[in-house]
Structure 1
C-alpha cells in the first residue's frame, strides 16, 4: 500500500506509467471523451467532485512541465482560471492556451481523461508530464 492522500487506484496507475511529455486530462462533466482514451469517471453528481479539488490532489502527486487550457476559460470562467493559477503557483510550469476545439483534439491523445462532476464552463486542463530527476 502506498502512503498519501490520493486513493484512486486507476489514477495512481496512470501517473506511475506516465513518461516525459505524456499527458493526462482533468475534465468537467461535459467534455467529450473519445472511446480510444482511458476514462476515469469520478463524477458523482453536479459539482462533486469539483474540478479544483481534483486538480489540487493530482497536481500534488505529479511532476509537470506544462499545462494546457482552453483560451475560452479566460472570458467564460475567470474564477476557475484564478483557482487553477493558485493551485499551480508553487510549480515552475508553462501555461499554454489553445482554442477549445484544439483542446479536444489534443485530449484524444492523452493517457487518460479524469472526469469530474464540475459543471462550470471550460473547466478542463491537460497536464503534461515532466521528469523526476532528484536535484534538478
Structure 2
C-alpha cells in the first residue's frame, strides 16, 4: 500500500506519466471537459474538495514549470487569484482569456474536477523536469 503522496491511483498515474511540457487542468465544477480528454471527478458536493486543497496536494507531488489561469480570475475571483500569486510566487504565472483557457484544455492529459463553486477557479499546471534534490 502506498504510504506517501497522492493516494488517488488515477491522479498518481497521470503525474507519474507526465513528460516535460505536458499539462493537466485543475477545474471548478463548471469548466466543460472537452470530448476525448480524461476527467478525474473528485467533486463530492459544492466546495468539497476545494480548488485550493487539490492544487496544493498536486503541487506537492508535481514539478511545475508554469501555471496558466484565466484573466477573469483576477477580477471575478480575487481571493483565489491572490492565493495563486502568493502560494506559487516562485513559478511563472501566465494568463489568457477564459475562452482560450477552454481551448487549451483540449490538449490536457487530464482534467481534475474539484467541488469548487467559485467562478474561474481553474488552472493549467505545466510539467517541468525534476532531476532530484541532489542534481547539479
- TM-score w.r.t. the length of structure 2 is 0.94
CA positional deviation for 1:10: 0.4
Match of 1:79 in 2: 79
CA positional deviation for 1:85: 2.3
CA positional deviation for 1:6: 1.6
1:103 aligns with 2:101: yes
Q: Write the distance in 2 (CA, Å) between the matches of 1:37 and 1:95.
A: 23
Contact 1:38–1:111 (8 Å) recurs in 2: yes
Match of 1:20 in 2: 20
SS in 1 for 2:116: coil
Residues paired across the two proteins, number: 134
CA positional deviation for 1:3: 2.9
In structure 2, runs of 5+ residues without a counterpart are none
- TM-score w.r.t. the length of structure 1 is 0.94
CA-based RMSD of the aligned residues comes to: 1.1
Q: Write the distance in 1 (CA, Å) between the matches of 2:58 and 2:87.
A: 11
Contact 2:5–2:61 (8 Å) recurs in 1: no
For residues 40-119 of structure 1, what are the structure 2 equivalents within 5 Å?
40-89=40-89, 92-119=90-117
CA positional deviation for 1:2: 3.2
In structure 1, runs of 5+ residues without a counterpart are none
Q: Write the distance in 2 (CA, Å) between the matches of 1:133 and 1:74.
A: 33
List, as ranges, runs of 4+ consecutive aligned residues in structure 1 with deviation greater than 3 Å: none
